[in-house]
Amino acid sequence: MSTPNRTRWTAADLPPLTGRTVIVTGATSGLGTVTARELARAGAHVVLAVRDTARGRDVASTLPGSTEVRRLDLSSLASVRAFADAWDRPLDVLVNNAGIMAVPEARSADGFEMQLATNHLGPFALTNLLLPHITDRIVTVASNAHRRPGVDIDFDDIGSERSYSPWRAYQQSKLANLLFTRELQKRLTAAGSRVTAHAAHPGYAATSLQGRTAGAGQRLMMAVANRLVAQPDSMGALPSLYAATQSLPGDSYTGPDGRGELRGHPAPARRSEHALDDARARRLWNLSEELTGVRFAPPQAGSGRR
């Protein structure tokens, strides 16, 4: 699929997606709902992979085109495995959209720090378990937050067991998204697959995500910023939609083209030096396999759309 010949890409530029199947995780609100809506509008069959299936069905009833709802709790490896085990047909695109941000300290059912579990380990396991079915690409939603000074993967305390900072844990999980994408693409290429891995970030988009952060003061500040600074979720979803449908090299990273990558239309995004570090990417991958018990299972060699 070729990129439209215009500089300000919008959802109106989506190509026809009839006959294609896409999974969007976290599709009951914000960026996920917009992503699902626009892909369905373009003709794709969209699977809303969500924790709350009743809410998912309510959202699906408002969407155009062909949709279905399946339960998925990314913080639970049992739920991830159940979802993947039930998948029995080709999948064109997986959009790893679901995430949480700077929440109070909590542990997942598997004992992992909740942001690490939901934002990285769950998508890591889901992607690898679904890989034998994927025919085109994986898109993982990252964040500008990974570029904040000092953000790195704390391999000695990745689960924040010694100390917990809501924002540090979030930033680490978003760096993990980019390192995951980088190493995944390397492994796909080595396996001879044409399936590709991509990342995208929404800039600063007004969604319900900010309303779940730790601390009433922070929530108030972010509510004000949502009104004064943020772009709407319809704009924040554009980088994900672009990465899911346009002709891009593997390990691409797309974000808004405005100042500071906070607002605007899809364009190549900047990564931190740590996010480009192959040694970090390999180390995180190996640790993620150890923690989840899920290993790389490549699509058939040569598989993927041309």
Residue 4 lies inside a defined structural domain of this protein: no
Within a domain: 249? yes
Are 172 and 180 within 8 A, CB to CB?
Answer: no
Half-sphere exposure in the Cβ direction for 37 (13 Å, CA): 18
Q: How confident is residue 273, by pLDDT bands cut at 50, 70 and 90?
A: very high
204 is annotated as an active-site residue:
no
Q: What is the pLDDT of residue 210?
A: 43
Interatomic CA distance for residues 241 and 256, integer angstroms: 12
The answer to whether residue 304 scores a pLDDT higher than 70 is: no
Q: How many domains does the chain have?
A: 1
Q: What are phi and psi of 162, to 5 degrees?
A: -80, -40
8 A C-beta contact, residue 22 and residue 28? no
Q: Which of 257, 227, 226, 251 has its CA nearest to residue 239?
A: 257
For residue 294, tell me if it sits in a domain.
Answer: no
pLDDT digits over 179-236, tens only? 999 999 999 999 999 999 999 999 998 765 545 555 555 544 554 445 546 799 999 9
What pLDDT is attached to residue 299? 77
Of the candidates 170, 102, 169, 124, which has an alpha carbon nearest to the alpha carbon of residue 25? 124
What does the pLDDT read at residue 224?
43
Question: For position 130, which CATH number holds?
Answer: 3.40.50.720
Cα-based angle 199, 202, 204 (whole degrees, multiple of 5): 145
Question: Domain for residue 182, yes or no?
Answer: yes
Assess whether pLDDT exceeds 60 at residue 5: no
Cα separation, 171 vs 102, in Å, equals: 9
Tens digit of pLDDT for each residue in 30-78? 999 999 999 999 999 999 999 999 999 999 999 999 999 999 999 999 9
Domain presence at residue 138: yes
The range of the structural domain enclosing residue 226 comes to 11-289
Asked if the structure places residue 6 within a domain, the reply is: no
Residue 216: Cβ within 10 Å count: 8
Residue 86 placed within a domain: yes
pLDDT reported for residue 205: 86
pLDDT of residue 213: 56
Question: pLDDT value at position 94?
Answer: 98
What is residue 230's predicted lDDT score, i.e. its pLDDT? 72
Interstrand relation of 266-268 and 45-50 (parallel, antiparallel or unpaired): unpaired
Where does the pLDDT of residue 2 fall: very low under 50, low under 70, confident under 90, or very high at 90 and above? very low
Q: Kindly give, in sequence order, each residue whose CB lies less than 8 Å from that of residue 220, ignoring residues fewer than 6 positions away.
A: none
164, 170, 204, 253: the active-site residue: 164
Give the C-alpha separation, 149 to 294, whole Å.
31
pTM, to two decimals: 0.91
Does position 138 have pLDDT exceeding 70, yes or no? Answer: yes
306 lies in some domain: no
Contacts of 295 (CB under 8 A, 6+ apart): 128, 289
d(CA 140, CA 154): 21
| β-pair partners for 46 | 22, 67
Mean pLDDT rounded to a whole number for the chain: 92
- Rounded Cα distance between 225 and 210, Å, is 10
